[in-house]
Amino acid sequence: MQFSKTAVLAVVANTVLAQRPSNISICDYYTTALLKDNTADNQATLLALVVNTVVIGNYTQPNVGVSVPGILAPGTYDGADVNLLPYFTGELASSNRGGDHGVSVNFLDDGGAEPLKNNKPANTENSSQYFLITHLYQFFGSLLGCSKQGMPGFDAYSGHASMYEVHKFMALDPTELGYFITQVGLAASSFGVADSDVQAVGTALTSLFDERCAPPTTVIPSQGAQLQAICIDDTCPLAAEATCASYEPVVEPSPVSSSASATPTASSTSLYPTAIPTAGAGTSGVGLAAIAGGIGAFFW
DSSP character string of 131-174: HHHHHHHHHHHHHTT-TTBTBTTSPPP-S-S-HHHHHGGG-B-H
The pLDDT score that the predictor gives to residue 284 is: 28
Q: Output 264-267 pairs: Cβ under 8 A, ≥24 positions apart.
A: 264/89, 264/90, 264/106, 264/108, 264/109, 264/112, 265/108, 265/109, 265/110, 265/111, 265/112, 266/112, 267/111, 267/112, 267/113, 267/114
Give the total residue count for the chain: 300
CB atoms within 10 A of CB 122: 24
Contact 16, 35 (CB under 8 A): no
Whether the bond between 62 and the residue before it is cis, its omega within 30 degrees of 0, is yes
Q: Which of 220, 219, 182 is nearest to 201 (CA)?
A: 182
Please state, in angstroms and rounded to a whole number, the distance separating the CA atoms of residues 14 and 125: 31
Counting DSSP H helices and E strands in the chain, the numbers are 11, 6
pLDDT at 275: 29
Distance between CA atoms of residues 61 and 174, nearest Å? 32
Q: Are 202 and 290 in contact (CB under 8 A)?
A: no
**Which amino acid makes up residue 101?**
H
At residue 42, what are phi and psi to the nearest 5 degrees? -70, -35
271 to 36, 64, 85, 215, 237: CA distances (angstroms):
31, 22, 9, 36, 31
Report in angstroms the alpha-carbon separations of 167 from 148, 283, 284: 28, 23, 27
Rounded to 5 degrees, what are φ and ψ at 93?
-85, 80
Q: pLDDT of the chain along its 300 residues, tens only?
A: 554 444 444 444 444 555 899 999 999 999 999 999 999 999 999 999 999 999 999 998 767 889 999 999 999 999 999 999 999 999 999 999 999 999 999 999 999 999 999 999 999 999 999 999 999 999 999 999 999 999 999 999 999 999 999 999 999 999 999 999 999 999 999 999 999 999 999 999 999 999 999 999 999 999 999 999 999 999 999 999 999 999 999 999 999 975 444 444 333 333 333 323 322 333 223 222 222 222 233 333
Q: Determine contact, residues 82/76, Cβ cutoff 8 Å.
A: yes
> So what's the pLDDT on residue 63?
76
